[in-house]
Amino acid sequence: MESIDVDVLVIGSGAGGLTAAITASEQGGDVLVVEKSDMYGGTSATSGGGIWVPCNHLMKEHGQSDTPEAALTYMKACIGEAVSETRLKAYVEKAPEMLKYMEDKSDVKFVSTPYADYLTEKPGSKDGWRTLDPVPFSATKLGKEFLNMRPPHPQTIFGGFTITVNEAKKIITRSKGWQWIMARLMISYRLDIPMRLKSKRHRRLCLGNALVGRCLHSAFKRNIPIWRNSPMKSLVTNKGAVTGAIVTKDGEDIQVNTRKGVILAAGGFEHNSDMRSQYLPNPTDTDWSATPGHNTGDAHKAAEDAGAALTLMDAAWWGPSVRLPGHDRSRVLFAERALPGVYIVNEHGERFLNEAGSYDEVGRELQQFPLTSWVIFDRRAREKYGIGPLYPTAVHPDSKWNDAIKAVVKKADTIEELAGLMGVDAKGLQATVDKVAKYSESGIDEDFGSGSSEYDRYYGDPSITPNPCLAPLAKPPFYAFPVRPGDIGTKGGVDVNENAQALTPKGQPLAGLYATGNVASSVMGRTYPGAGSTIGPAMTFGYVAAKHAMRANA
């Protein structure tokens, strides 16, 4: 078997893996990145690309401030005892350090946003500025490698182009200037004739594509090799330490020996049916996940075989999802749940949650009902907003529905008829309609408090008063589609310490092995404190792992 020697081997080319690679290279390391699939970027490339970083230096530009004490208080209030305080403190300390390091040493750039923490009722929370979004990036800088980067999730694409979170908020909520944003982006996309001759993809990269594009550009400038179509087969151990891995490249096995360490950044196990059935709450299904199909837990199993412990395996980054027939993944309802006149009901036709809450909270609530839950709305909401798989009627009229839409979305002229199509209790659904009409008039959701927090109102419609998250279901026809407890990745994995070192079942570091991202047990425990709680830790502990490996094994 052929063998090669490197300082650091990184498994996975998402934001966490690329951050680790860039950091190790910056520290003078000889680095190799291997990617299982044929495209760079992993789940990060299809994500929103945001990171949750308390005490970040960018919030000062907006006159905002934060303290480590407040951030730690908030994390402890959210996460409880599921994660050690040592790891929580490490995140609060190292996340802003990672951000500054990457902005100083690479092409990775962010902007701080007024996106509120998800659980603003918890002590230490902030009504914005801990979440940062990647600055848009030109794919031209990637050259021919651009088309080897994983495309955005289909639900983040509007007519071929992607948009930033701030642009999306204005478009979704129909805020002032949204039409100009759409027109400007549409024109710039269609006038890019050279790219239109090659691909439907837009060269203005936003969200996760912007983040991964910036990471890739930084890696390529450092001549860091990234092997695509090169899955890790197993880890190599010697005298209780991990000393490399067997990687399959071009159909041949290669032993990659490491002088400093192996950093696992290969994603979760959400597309492994057996692992989902074994670890996640039931019912569960790979079809409900919104991530690419390559996350099958290979690195989890390899780490366990090498002697690492796995923890938090019952946890995931939950979200209400809907999947159309023939589509390769589900779409998670991130924002539209907060729009007025959009509600979720169970088989009794009753609401059972605050629809405007965080998608993780809503996803977990859906697990309490083993039968199908439904998103319901009326003609007013249908005409004005994009909801699930439907764009507003001006660009996506009912007459243009394809077979996939028709197979999933129900439409009726009366609430009773809609209940029949959904298979839910008609009296219960009518009672819900009557309740939300009353709550919309008063502005107070007496059952679940929708619209009562800063986070709830972020994606509400400011033109609707007195509550931007509440409107009656009054104008026929009425619509519904089924919603499931989906996910944007699992979050259980290799037990790690504050240095991102893999731990044995006895809690001792497994020499030579590190883990970050969804292959590691999440520092966020079983909760989701704020937007960017997935990629923020992935990048932070990728940075921490690389620095520790280079320093500890000098």
Cα dihedral 256→257→262→265 (10° resolution)? 0
Q: Could you give the CA distance from residue 433 to residue 415 in angstroms, rounded to a whole number?
A: 8
What pLDDT, on a 0 to 100 scale, did the predictor assign at position 406?
A: 97
Are 222 and 22 spatial neighbours (Cβ–Cβ below 8 Å)? yes
Beta-carbon contacts of residue 374 (< 8 Å; ≥ 6 apart): 344, 345, 346, 422, 424, 480, 481, 482, 483
Beta-carbon contacts of residue 158 (< 8 Å; ≥ 6 apart): 171, 182, 185
Cα dihedral 462→465→470→476 (10° resolution)? -100
* Residue 550 token pair: 């280079």
Q: What is the pLDDT of residues 269-309, one digit of tens each?
A: 999 999 999 999 989 999 999 998 999 999 999 999 999 99
The structure tokens 């946003």 sit at 113
Q: 319-486: which CATH architecture?
A: Alpha-Beta Complex (3.90)
Overall average pLDDT of the 30-58 stretch: 97
Q: What is the pLDDT of residues 308-349, one digit of tens each?
A: 999 999 999 999 999 999 998 999 999 999 999 999 999 999
Q: Is residue 448 pLDDT above 70, yes or no?
A: yes
Q: Could you give the CA distance from residue 319 to residue 206 in angstroms, rounded to a whole number?
A: 22
Alpha carbon 269 to chain centroid distance?
Answer: 14
* Residue 269 token pair: 């196990």
**Could you say which DSSP state residue 135 is in?**
P
E strands present in 74-222: 110-112, 131-134, 137-138, 157-158, 161-162, 204-205
Q: Could you give the CA distance from residue 347 to residue 164 in angstroms, rounded to a whole number?
A: 36
Q: Is the pTM of this model over 0.85?
A: yes
What pLDDT, on a 0 to 100 scale, did the predictor assign at position 157?
A: 60
Percent of the chain at pLDDT > 70 equals 96
Amino acid letter, residue 411: K
Alpha carbon 105 to chain centroid distance?
Answer: 25
Q: What is the pLDDT of residues 230-265, one digit of tens each?
A: 999 999 999 999 999 999 999 999 999 999 999 999
**Could you say which DSSP state residue 294 is in?**
T
Helix (H) or strand (E) segment spanning residue 456: helix 454-458
Beta-carbon contacts of residue 391 (< 8 Å; ≥ 6 apart): none
Q: Could you give the CA distance from residue 101 to residue 103 in angstroms, rounded to a whole number?
A: 6
Beta bridge partners of 263: 10, 514
Q: Where are the domains of the chain?
A: 1-147+208-315+491-554, 319-486
Q: Could you give the CA distance from residue 52 to residue 537 in angstroms, rounded to a whole number?
A: 8
Query: Count of CB atoms within 10 A of residue 219's CB?
Result: 25
What pLDDT, on a 0 to 100 scale, did the predictor assign at position 509?
A: 98
Q: Is residue 161 pLDDT above 80, yes or no?
A: no
Q: Is residue 371 pLDDT above 90, yes or no?
A: no
What pLDDT, on a 0 to 100 scale, did the predictor assign at position 167?
A: 76
**Could you say which DSSP state residue 414 is in?**
S
What pLDDT, on a 0 to 100 scale, did the predictor assign at position 181?
A: 72
Q: Could you give the CA distance from residue 424 to residue 375 in angstroms, rounded to a whole number?
A: 12
The helix/strand count (H/E) of the chain reads as: 16, 23
Q: Could you give the CA distance from residue 258 to residue 3 in angstroms, rounded to a whole number?
A: 11
The angle subtended at Cα 362 by Cα 498 and Cα 124, nearest 5°, is 45
Comparing 26-40, 67-81, 153-167, which segment has the lowest mean pLDDT? Answer: 153-167
Q: Give the burial class of 187: count Cβ atoms within 10 A of its Cβ; 0-12 exposed, 13-18 middle, 19 or more buried.
A: exposed
Beta bridge partners of 482: 374
Q: Do domains 1-147+208-315+491-554 and 319-486 have the same CATH topology?
A: no
Query: Count of CB atoms within 10 A of residue 4's CB?
Result: 13
For the structural domain made of 1-147+208-315+491-554, what CATH number should be given?
A: 3.50.50.60
Which residue in 3, 24, 90 sits closest to 54, CA to CA? 90
